[in-house]
Amino acid sequence: MHIDILTLFPEMFQGMFGSGIFKRAIDQKLVSVGIHNIRDYTHDKHHSVDDYPYGGGAGMVLKPEPIFEAVESIKGESATVPIILLTPQGRLFSQQVAQELSQYSHLILICGHYEGVDERVREHLATDELSIGDYVLSGGELAAMVVIDAVVRLLPGVLGSAASPLDDSHVAGLLEYPQYTRPAIYRGWSVPEVLLSGNHAQIADWRREQVILRTLERRPELLDKAKLSSEEKGLVQKLRQS
Ligand code: SAM
């Protein structure tokens, strides 16, 4: 996958791509990233990227020209690459959206700033709009990092063979079971017996039960859409009635 990011603050991405699984994924050529400064696509002597809003009001709005020019030069002839505008007004980002985006070989992300981006970018350039939650950030950079993190870890090979994202919370619409590591007893708090038993079938049953209990306890609405066996549906019903 190749990811292009349009931003006014390219340096914000250095930490993310300079360490950990992203650096490894880049080194192994599983993913490549182009970070483009929107300012580089301006033509006036002050390199202006923003201007006052028509109609008045506080703050500045990102101008359309450098954003259109940047996307057009990056995108080339490709007609299918998603051009994603990060905005608190977009569709809500989720694990499902991450899975959907992980199927593409190229993504373009546009990070807004100040009061936002000229509406014509949304209307005539972006093919998708994503919000990472119902709150307002100062810029789209952190939102883009959230999207990229969730998408890239789904790409084959990125997490390595030992780790699998399949059991993670939200991947199958439920929350993950509790995880423990050594020591078996810490400050008098013990790891559940079954996890020390070495009995893989019992461990799998316990984990599945915990997935359901935990989801029911914390995010009961997720169970309405999740794929459950008839036995599991019975368990949910019993727990809901108790
Ligand atoms: N005035 C805009 C509004 O009310 O819709 C908010 C602008 S915000 C201060 C500046 C930029 O941060 C936005 O253009 C967007 O790129 C980014 N941003 C802020 N909150 C976001 C969110 N929840 N999800 C994704 N991007 C967000």
The per-residue pLDDT for range 187-207, each reduced to its tens digit, is 999 999 999 999 999 999 999
- Domain of residue 22, residue span: 2-152
The per-residue pLDDT for range 15-43, each reduced to its tens digit, is 999 999 999 999 999 999 999 999 999 99
Provide the pLDDT for residue 79. Answer: 81
The residues, ordered by sequence, that sit 6+ positions from 154 with a Cβ below 8 Å of its Cβ are: 98, 99, 102, 165
Note if 115 is an active site residue. yes
Asked whether residue 175 is domain-assigned, the answer is no
Q: Does residue 193 share a domain with residue 107?
A: no
Q: Does residue 112 share a domain with residue 53?
A: yes
DSSP, residue by residue, 18-58: TSHHHHHHHHTTS-EEEEEEGGGG--STT---EEPPTT--S
Please give the share of the chain, as a percent, with pLDDT higher than 70. 98
Asked whether residue 177 is domain-assigned, the answer is no
The per-residue pLDDT for range 123-181, each reduced to its tens digit, is 999 999 999 999 999 999 999 999 999 999 999 999 986 567 788 999 999 999 999 99
Q: Does residue 10 share a domain with residue 86?
A: yes
Residues with CB under 6 A from ligand 1: 86-89, 111-113, 115-117, 131-133, 135-140, 143
Three-state SS for 214? helix
Q: Does residue 77 share a domain with residue 6?
A: yes
Asked whether residue 176 is domain-assigned, the answer is no
Nearest protein Cα to ligand 1, atom 26: 87
CATH code of the domain covering residue 189: 1.10.1270.20
Cα of 112 vs centre of ligand 1, distance in Å, is 7
Q: Does residue 98 share a domain with residue 205?
A: no
Count of domains forming the chain: 2
CATH code of the domain covering residue 7: 3.40.1280.10
